[in-house]
Amino acid sequence: MRQHPIIAGNWKMNMTVGESITLVDALIANPNTQHATWIICPPYTHLAPIQDRIKHSVFSLGAQSISHHSNGAFTGDVSGSMLKSVGCRYVIIGHSERREYHNETPKILTQQLTQAFTHGLTPIFCVGETKKDRDNNLTTAVIEAQLIDSLVPVKPHLETLPFLIAYEPIWAIGTGVVASPEDAQQVHAYIRKKLNKLLPPEIANRTPILYGGSVSPENSRNLLDQQDIDGALVGGASLNADTFLAIGK
Ligand code: PGA
Protein backbone atom coordinates (compact mmCIF):
# COMPACT_ATOMS: atom_id res chain seq x y z
CA MET A 1 0.00 0.00 0.00
CA ARG A 2 1.35 3.40 -0.85
CA GLN A 3 -0.15 6.80 -0.76
CA HIS A 4 0.01 6.97 -4.54
CA PRO A 5 -0.57 3.54 -6.09
CA ILE A 6 1.01 2.79 -9.46
CA ILE A 7 -1.71 1.97 -11.99
CA ALA A 8 -0.46 0.45 -15.25
CA GLY A 9 -2.74 -0.30 -18.21
CA ASN A 10 -1.80 -3.23 -20.42
CA TRP A 11 -3.82 -2.74 -23.59
CA LYS A 12 -2.60 -6.04 -25.09
CA MET A 13 -3.57 -6.42 -28.79
CA ASN A 14 -6.61 -4.15 -28.72
CA MET A 15 -7.75 -1.01 -30.54
CA THR A 16 -6.61 0.72 -33.70
CA VAL A 17 -4.38 3.78 -33.40
CA GLY A 18 -7.43 6.01 -33.92
CA GLU A 19 -9.43 4.25 -31.20
CA SER A 20 -6.54 4.43 -28.79
CA ILE A 21 -6.10 8.16 -29.37
CA THR A 22 -9.77 8.66 -28.48
CA LEU A 23 -9.15 6.73 -25.25
CA VAL A 24 -6.00 8.64 -24.40
CA ASP A 25 -7.64 11.99 -25.06
CA ALA A 26 -10.35 11.03 -22.55
CA LEU A 27 -7.67 10.03 -20.03
CA ILE A 28 -5.68 13.24 -20.26
CA ALA A 29 -8.82 15.41 -20.22
CA ASN A 30 -9.84 13.98 -16.83
CA PRO A 31 -8.70 16.09 -13.89
CA ASN A 32 -8.99 13.26 -11.31
CA THR A 33 -5.59 11.75 -11.89
CA GLN A 34 -3.64 13.17 -8.97
CA HIS A 35 -4.00 10.18 -6.64
CA ALA A 36 -1.96 7.67 -8.62
CA THR A 37 1.11 7.23 -10.80
CA TRP A 38 -0.13 6.23 -14.26
CA ILE A 39 1.48 4.08 -16.93
CA ILE A 40 -0.08 2.99 -20.22
CA CYS A 41 1.30 0.17 -22.34
CA PRO A 42 -0.06 0.29 -25.91
CA PRO A 43 0.91 -2.05 -28.78
CA TYR A 44 4.18 -1.18 -30.56
CA THR A 45 2.43 0.49 -33.49
CA HIS A 46 0.70 2.95 -31.15
CA LEU A 47 3.68 4.01 -29.04
CA ALA A 48 4.83 7.07 -31.01
CA PRO A 49 1.38 8.64 -31.62
CA ILE A 50 0.33 7.96 -28.03
CA GLN A 51 3.54 9.46 -26.64
CA ASP A 52 2.89 12.54 -28.74
CA ARG A 53 -0.48 12.88 -26.97
CA ILE A 54 0.68 12.16 -23.39
CA LYS A 55 4.08 13.85 -23.32
CA HIS A 56 2.88 16.78 -21.20
CA SER A 57 0.48 14.72 -19.08
CA VAL A 58 0.75 12.61 -15.91
CA PHE A 59 0.71 9.41 -18.00
CA SER A 60 3.95 7.60 -18.79
CA LEU A 61 4.53 5.29 -21.70
CA GLY A 62 5.39 1.60 -21.42
CA ALA A 63 5.84 -1.17 -23.98
CA GLN A 64 4.34 -4.66 -23.70
CA SER A 65 7.55 -6.48 -24.58
CA ILE A 66 11.13 -5.96 -25.79
CA SER A 67 13.54 -7.96 -27.91
CA HIS A 68 16.22 -9.87 -26.04
CA HIS A 69 18.64 -8.80 -28.78
CA SER A 70 20.11 -5.32 -29.11
CA ASN A 71 19.79 -5.00 -32.92
CA GLY A 72 20.24 -6.87 -36.19
CA ALA A 73 18.48 -9.44 -38.34
CA PHE A 74 15.49 -10.21 -36.10
CA THR A 75 12.48 -9.60 -38.31
CA GLY A 76 9.47 -8.34 -36.44
CA ASP A 77 11.32 -7.63 -33.18
CA VAL A 78 11.59 -4.25 -31.45
CA SER A 79 14.70 -3.32 -29.48
CA GLY A 80 15.26 -1.42 -26.26
CA SER A 81 16.89 1.51 -28.04
CA MET A 82 13.86 1.75 -30.38
CA LEU A 83 11.48 1.79 -27.41
CA LYS A 84 13.58 4.43 -25.69
CA SER A 85 13.67 6.53 -28.86
CA VAL A 86 9.86 6.84 -28.94
CA GLY A 87 9.65 7.90 -25.30
CA CYS A 88 9.01 4.65 -23.44
CA ARG A 89 9.95 4.68 -19.77
CA TYR A 90 8.66 1.23 -18.82
CA VAL A 91 8.45 -2.22 -20.37
CA ILE A 92 6.44 -5.27 -19.31
CA ILE A 93 8.65 -8.38 -19.21
CA GLY A 94 7.60 -11.96 -18.53
CA HIS A 95 3.84 -11.56 -18.98
CA SER A 96 2.28 -15.03 -18.85
CA GLU A 97 0.89 -14.57 -22.38
CA ARG A 98 4.44 -13.96 -23.69
CA ARG A 99 5.82 -16.88 -21.68
CA GLU A 100 3.11 -19.18 -23.03
CA TYR A 101 2.50 -18.07 -26.63
CA HIS A 102 6.03 -16.92 -27.49
CA ASN A 103 8.01 -19.47 -25.51
CA GLU A 104 9.81 -16.80 -23.54
CA THR A 105 12.03 -18.83 -21.24
CA PRO A 106 13.69 -17.58 -18.04
CA LYS A 107 16.94 -17.17 -20.00
CA ILE A 108 15.25 -15.01 -22.65
CA LEU A 109 13.53 -12.98 -19.92
CA THR A 110 16.90 -12.34 -18.26
CA GLN A 111 18.23 -11.10 -21.61
CA GLN A 112 15.16 -8.87 -22.02
CA LEU A 113 15.74 -7.47 -18.53
CA THR A 114 19.35 -6.74 -19.46
CA GLN A 115 18.23 -4.95 -22.62
CA ALA A 116 15.72 -2.88 -20.65
CA PHE A 117 18.25 -1.85 -18.02
CA THR A 118 20.90 -1.11 -20.65
CA HIS A 119 18.56 1.28 -22.44
CA GLY A 120 17.22 3.05 -19.37
CA LEU A 121 13.80 1.37 -19.39
CA THR A 122 12.18 0.34 -16.11
CA PRO A 123 11.01 -3.29 -16.29
CA ILE A 124 7.67 -4.44 -14.91
CA PHE A 125 8.58 -8.07 -14.34
CA CYS A 126 5.57 -10.42 -14.17
CA VAL A 127 5.27 -13.63 -12.19
CA GLY A 128 2.29 -15.83 -11.43
CA GLU A 129 1.04 -19.36 -10.96
CA THR A 130 -1.53 -21.43 -12.86
CA LYS A 131 -4.72 -22.73 -11.27
CA LYS A 132 -3.15 -26.18 -11.16
CA ASP A 133 -0.09 -24.83 -9.34
CA ARG A 134 -2.35 -23.18 -6.76
CA ASP A 135 -4.50 -26.27 -6.31
CA ASN A 136 -1.34 -28.30 -5.71
CA ASN A 137 0.04 -25.81 -3.17
CA LEU A 138 2.85 -24.88 -5.53
CA THR A 139 2.20 -21.14 -5.69
CA THR A 140 5.22 -19.99 -3.69
CA ALA A 141 7.53 -22.58 -5.27
CA VAL A 142 6.55 -21.39 -8.76
CA ILE A 143 6.91 -17.71 -7.87
CA GLU A 144 10.26 -18.35 -6.22
CA ALA A 145 11.59 -20.12 -9.31
CA GLN A 146 10.34 -17.34 -11.62
CA LEU A 147 12.02 -14.69 -9.46
CA ILE A 148 15.29 -16.52 -8.92
CA ASP A 149 15.72 -17.78 -12.51
CA SER A 150 15.36 -14.40 -14.17
CA LEU A 151 16.41 -11.90 -11.51
CA VAL A 152 19.56 -13.39 -9.98
CA PRO A 153 21.59 -12.98 -13.21
CA VAL A 154 20.71 -9.25 -13.33
CA LYS A 155 21.34 -8.60 -9.62
CA PRO A 156 23.90 -5.82 -10.25
CA HIS A 157 21.28 -3.90 -12.26
CA LEU A 158 18.62 -4.48 -9.58
CA GLU A 159 20.96 -2.96 -7.01
CA THR A 160 21.32 0.26 -8.95
CA LEU A 161 18.28 0.76 -11.21
CA PRO A 162 14.53 0.89 -10.53
CA PHE A 163 12.27 -2.03 -11.41
CA LEU A 164 8.75 -3.22 -10.59
CA ILE A 165 7.31 -6.66 -10.00
CA ALA A 166 3.77 -7.62 -11.04
CA TYR A 167 2.11 -10.61 -9.40
CA GLU A 168 -0.43 -11.89 -11.91
CA PRO A 169 -2.03 -15.25 -11.06
CA ILE A 170 -2.72 -16.77 -14.47
CA TRP A 171 -6.15 -18.06 -13.38
CA ALA A 172 -7.19 -14.47 -12.65
CA ILE A 173 -6.10 -12.91 -15.96
CA GLY A 174 -9.07 -12.00 -18.13
CA THR A 175 -11.36 -14.37 -16.25
CA GLY A 176 -13.25 -12.01 -13.94
CA VAL A 177 -12.03 -14.19 -11.06
CA VAL A 178 -9.87 -11.87 -8.98
CA ALA A 179 -7.58 -13.09 -6.19
CA SER A 180 -8.93 -12.22 -2.75
CA PRO A 181 -7.06 -9.31 -1.15
CA GLU A 182 -5.76 -11.69 1.55
CA ASP A 183 -4.49 -14.29 -0.94
CA ALA A 184 -2.85 -11.59 -3.07
CA GLN A 185 -1.27 -9.97 0.00
CA GLN A 186 0.13 -13.33 1.07
CA VAL A 187 1.95 -13.75 -2.25
CA HIS A 188 3.08 -10.11 -2.31
CA ALA A 189 4.55 -10.52 1.18
CA TYR A 190 6.33 -13.65 -0.03
CA ILE A 191 7.75 -11.76 -3.03
CA ARG A 192 8.89 -8.98 -0.68
CA LYS A 193 10.61 -11.56 1.51
CA LYS A 194 12.41 -13.07 -1.49
CA LEU A 195 13.50 -9.62 -2.69
CA ASN A 196 14.91 -9.02 0.80
CA LYS A 197 16.98 -12.19 0.47
CA LEU A 198 18.33 -11.06 -2.88
CA LEU A 199 18.81 -7.33 -2.36
CA PRO A 200 19.59 -4.80 0.37
CA PRO A 201 16.45 -4.11 2.45
CA GLU A 202 16.13 -0.48 1.40
CA ILE A 203 15.82 -1.62 -2.24
CA ALA A 204 13.64 -4.68 -1.54
CA ASN A 205 11.25 -2.66 0.62
CA ARG A 206 10.79 0.21 -1.81
CA THR A 207 10.39 -1.93 -4.96
CA PRO A 208 6.75 -1.61 -6.08
CA ILE A 209 4.84 -4.89 -6.34
CA LEU A 210 1.70 -4.57 -8.50
CA TYR A 211 -1.21 -7.00 -8.53
CA GLY A 212 -2.73 -7.99 -11.88
CA GLY A 213 -5.65 -10.21 -12.89
CA SER A 214 -9.25 -9.02 -13.32
CA VAL A 215 -8.67 -5.74 -11.46
CA SER A 216 -11.74 -3.50 -11.71
CA PRO A 217 -13.06 -0.39 -9.95
CA GLU A 218 -15.17 -2.74 -7.79
CA ASN A 219 -12.27 -4.71 -6.35
CA SER A 220 -9.28 -2.36 -6.58
CA ARG A 221 -9.74 -0.50 -3.29
CA ASN A 222 -9.57 -3.64 -1.13
CA LEU A 223 -6.54 -4.89 -3.06
CA LEU A 224 -4.67 -1.58 -2.89
CA ASP A 225 -5.34 -1.35 0.85
CA GLN A 226 -3.13 -4.39 1.44
CA GLN A 227 0.26 -3.69 2.94
CA ASP A 228 2.42 -5.07 0.12
CA ILE A 229 0.19 -4.23 -2.86
CA ASP A 230 1.63 -1.05 -4.34
CA GLY A 231 -0.46 -0.80 -7.48
CA ALA A 232 -2.22 -2.68 -10.22
CA LEU A 233 -1.48 -3.99 -13.71
CA VAL A 234 -4.81 -3.72 -15.48
CA GLY A 235 -5.85 -5.40 -18.73
CA GLY A 236 -9.52 -5.31 -19.72
CA ALA A 237 -10.50 -2.41 -17.45
CA SER A 238 -7.74 -0.22 -18.91
CA LEU A 239 -9.53 -0.10 -22.30
CA ASN A 240 -12.13 2.31 -20.98
CA ALA A 241 -11.18 5.73 -19.55
CA ASP A 242 -13.78 5.71 -16.77
CA THR A 243 -13.02 2.23 -15.44
CA PHE A 244 -9.25 2.72 -15.72
CA LEU A 245 -9.26 6.04 -13.89
CA ALA A 246 -11.68 4.75 -11.23
CA ILE A 247 -9.07 2.15 -10.25
CA GLY A 248 -6.63 4.88 -9.23
CA LYS A 249 -9.08 7.19 -7.45
P1 PGA B 1 -6.94 -8.43 -16.97
O2 PGA B 1 -5.41 -8.56 -17.50
O3 PGA B 1 -6.99 -7.20 -16.09
O4 PGA B 1 -7.76 -8.30 -18.20
O5 PGA B 1 -7.23 -9.66 -16.18
C6 PGA B 1 -4.31 -8.26 -16.67
C7 PGA B 1 -3.02 -8.53 -17.40
O8 PGA B 1 -2.92 -9.53 -18.09
O9 PGA B 1 -2.07 -7.73 -17.30
- The finding on whether 80 has its CB within 6 A of some atom of ligand 1 is no
3-state DSSP assignment of residue 231: strand
pTM of the model: 0.97
Annotated active-site residue 95? The verdict is: yes
- The finding on whether 236 has its CB within 6 A of some atom of ligand 1 is yes
What band does 249 get if pLDDT is binned at 50, 70 and 90? confident
Annotated active-site residue 56? The verdict is: no
Estimate to the nearest angstrom the gap between the alpha carbon of 40 and the chain centroid: 10
pLDDT tens per residue, range 186-205: 999 999 999 999 999 999 99
pLDDT tens per residue, range 34-63: 999 999 999 999 999 999 999 999 999 999
Q: Ligand 1, residues 214, 219, 238, 247: which to mutate, most atoms within 8 A of Cβ?
A: 214
- Residue with CA nearest ligand 1 atom 2: 235
- The finding on whether 178 has its CB within 6 A of some atom of ligand 1 is no
pLDDT tens per residue, range 66-110: 999 999 999 999 999 999 999 999 999 999 999 999 999 999 999
